[in-house]
Amino acid sequence: MSDVVVKLVEKLGAEKVLQGADVKERHYHIWHMGEGLHAKAVTLPTSTEDVSTICRICTEHNQPIIVFGGLTNLVGSTETTGEEVIVSMERLNKIQEIDEVSRTMTVESGVILQHIQEAAKEKDLLFPLNFGAKGSAQIGGCISTNAGGLRVLKFGMTRALVLGVEAVLMDGRIISSMKKIIKDNSAYDLKQLFIGSEGTLGVITRAVLKLVEAPKSRNSAFLAFNDYEKLVSFMKFIDRGLAGALSGFEVIWRASYEVMTGPSAHNRPPIPHGYKYYVLVESLGADQEVDKLNLQGLIEQTILNGLAEDAVMADTESDLNWFWNIREDVKVLAEQGNVDQHFDVSAPINEMGSYVDQVEVQINELEGVHAAYPFGHLADGNIHFIVMKDHAEEPLKNRINDLVYNPLTELNGSVSAEHGIGLHKKKYLALCRSAEEIALMKTLKIAFDPAGLLNPGKVVDV
C-alpha cells in the first residue's frame, strides 16, 4: 500500500477507501471499456469534509486525483493511467432541500439527474435539464461539464440552472456559495469557474439548482423542408409565434431520418422519406388544448406560406412519444456500421446548412465510412454528427476529425458545444480558442491547482 493510501485509510476509515480487487471490479466508463479500473485506490466520501480531507492528503503526497460521477462522459475525462486516486461521488447522493417558494433544490453532487427530475415533479416543479444519460449522470458531472441537452433553447445550459455551488480546491479549502437566490452581484461569481471546467479547478460537492413551475401542456409537430433558408425562416416564425413557449427545435437531416424511421428502426416515419430536412418542434405551456390549437394554427400558416413541404401535429400523448422516440433513438444510427465517431459542434445558424452539406459529402467520400448522420439542436446552433465506419484505425479517424473540425475556425464555431474537451478533443481546442485564451486558461489552472493534481492532462496542459 502506498503512503498516500495508508494515510487515506487512516483518516477516512477502510470502508471509504477501496483497493486491489475492489478497484479492478470497477470501470472508468459506464460502457465498461477496458478490462477493469486502473487506479491506486477509489475513495468514497460521504461528506464535503471527506472530500476536503482526500484533497489535502493527496496534495501533501503530490498525488493526482480524478473525480468520478456517473461516468457517462464522451471525451475521455475519466480515463486513468493507474497512478491516480479516484474520488467517486456516489455516496454523496442526498437531496437536502426542496424550496417550493424559491423554486430551488439543494443537492449533493452525486445525486443522479433523473432522481432530481422526479423529486422536482413531485412538488409540481421542473428541473429542465434533460438528456439521454439522465438515469446515470450525476448532477456534479452535469455541472462540471455544463451539460446541454434537449431543452437548452427555452431553459439554457446547466450554467443557467445552477444558483449555488460548493467545491473543494485541491489544497482542501472548501469554497461554498450555496445561496437560494437568483441574483447575486456580491463580487466575483466564483461558481462560474467550477461550472464547465470539467473537474480541473475544483471538486464540486453540493449545488443549489434552479427549478421552474412544471408546464401543464406539451405539444409537438414534425415538419419537412427542402430549403435551408425556408427552414431558418420557419425557426424565426415559430419562435415569434410561440413567444417563449418554444422548447425544442430539433433538425434531423435526411440521411439520419431515413435510418431513424427506416426498416431497422423501432419507429414509423410521421412524414414520408425523401425531403432534405425534418424538423421536430416542441412547445411547453399552461393549457393543453389551447396551446395545441395555437401550435396547429402556426403550422397551418407555415404550410400556407409555402415554407414547409409537409407537416404533421402530434394529436395524442402517444404521438408525442412516437415523435420524440424517433429523435432520441440515436442508437439505431450507431447500428449502421462497426465503429462510431461522435461530434457535437456549433456554428452560427445561417452557416450551418452549407457546413453540414460540405462535411456530409466529404465524409461519405472516404473509404471505410458507411455514412455520416447529422442531426441536432439547430436553434441553439449546435448539431451532432454520428459517423459510422468499418474500422477504428487512426488515419481514418483523424481524417474525419479534420473534415468536421477544420472548417469551424473560419465559421467562428466550436469543436464542442456540449460534451467538453476532456482528453480526446484537446488537440482540436486551438481551432476554436486563440493562443491568448488558452494561455489564460493555463493561468487559471495554475492559480487553482498549482501542482496540477486535479484531473491532470484533461482540458488544458500545464
Residues 179-218 close enough to bind its own copies by CB under 8 A: 179-190, 192-193, 195-197, 212-217
Max Cα-Cα span within the chain: 74
Q: Is residue 444 a contact partner of residue 183, using CB atoms and an 8 Å limit?
A: no
Q: Is 146 in the site for its own copies (CB under 8 A)?
A: yes
SS3 26: coil
Whose Cβ is closer to its own copies: residue 271's or residue 421's? 421
Q: How far is the CB of 367 from its own copies (least distance, A)?
A: 30
Whose Cβ is closer to its own copies: residue 232's or residue 403's? 232
Closest to 133 measured CA to CA, from 419, 421, 324, 425: 419
Give the single-character DSSP code of 6: H
Q: How far is the CB of 46 from its own copies (least distance, A)?
A: 21
- Between vectors from CA 348 to CA 275 and to CA 299, what angle results, nearest 5°? 40
Whose Cβ is closer to its own copies: residue 99's or residue 357's? 99
Site string for its own copies, 113-142 (x = CB under 8 A): -----------x------------------
Q: How far is the CB of 273 from its own copies (least distance, A)?
A: 27
Site string for its own copies, 345-364 (x = CB under 8 A): -xxxxx--------------
According to CB under 8 A, which one of 32, 173, 266, 391 is a site residue for its own copies? 173
According to CB under 8 A, which one of 138, 302, 382, 455 is a site residue for its own copies? 382
Rounded to an integer, what distance in angstroms lies between the CA atom of residue 108 and that of residue 90? 10
Q: How far is the CB of 429 from its own copies (least distance, A)?
A: 6
Whose Cβ is closer to its own copies: residue 14's or residue 181's? 181
Whose Cβ is closer to its own copies: residue 9's or residue 330's? 330
C-alpha dihedral sign at 57, 61, 67, 71: negative
Rounded to an integer, what distance in angstroms lies between the CA atom of residue 256 and that of residue 250? 12
According to CB under 8 A, which one of 418, 424, 449, 453 is a site residue for its own copies? 418
Site for its own copies in 235-274 (CB under 8 A): 235-236, 239-245
50-77 in b/e form (b: 16+ CB < 10 A) is: bbbbbbbbbbebebbbbbbbbbbbbbbb
Contacts of 102 (CB under 8 A, 6+ apart): 180, 181
According to CB under 8 A, which one of 21, 101, 318, 367 is a site residue for its own copies? 101
Q: How far is the CB of 243 from its own copies (least distance, A)?
A: 4
Q: How far is the CB of 53 from its own copies (least distance, A)?
A: 16
Q: How far is the CB of 441 from its own copies (least distance, A)?
A: 5
Exposed/middle/buried for residue 308 (C-beta within 10 Å: 0-12, 13-18, 19+): buried
Site for its own copies in 419-458 (CB under 8 A): 419-421, 425, 429, 432-434, 436-441, 443-444, 446-448
All 3 cell numbers of residue 255? 440521411
Closest to 292 measured CA to CA, from 253, 266, 320: 320
Q: Is 289 in the site for its own copies (CB under 8 A)?
A: no
Contacts of 401 (CB under 8 A, 6+ apart): 341, 428
According to CB under 8 A, which one of 59, 77, 109, 177 is a site residue for its own copies? 177
Q: What is the DSSP track for 65-94?
A: EEEESS---SSSTT---SSPEEEE-TT---
Rounded to an integer, what distance in angstroms lies between the CA atom of residue 375 and that of residue 356? 10
Whose Cβ is closer to its own copies: residue 290's or residue 392's? 290
Q: How far is the CB of 369 from its own copies (least distance, A)?
A: 25
Q: Is 162 in the site for its own copies (CB under 8 A)?
A: no
Q: How far is the CB of 154 from its own copies (least distance, A)?
A: 7
Site for its own copies in 293-352 (CB under 8 A): 346-350
Whose Cβ is closer to its own copies: residue 103's or residue 134's? 103
Q: How far is the CB of 183 from its own copies (least distance, A)?
A: 4
Identify the H or E element spanning 389: strand 382-389
Site for its own copies in 390-409 (CB under 8 A): none
E-strand ranges in 234-347 read: 246-253, 277-285, 310-313, 339-346
Rounded to an integer, what distance in angstroms lies between the CA atom of residue 400 and that of residue 406? 10
Rounded to an integer, what distance in angstroms lies between the CA atom of residue 138 and that of residue 151? 18
- The HSE-up count of residue 402 (CA atoms within 13 Å, CB side) is 8
Whose Cβ is closer to its own copies: residue 27's or residue 123's? 123
| Part in contact with its own copies (CB under 8 A); list of ranges 27-35, 130-138, 233-241, 271-279 | 233-241
Whose Cβ is closer to its own copies: residue 242's or residue 314's? 242
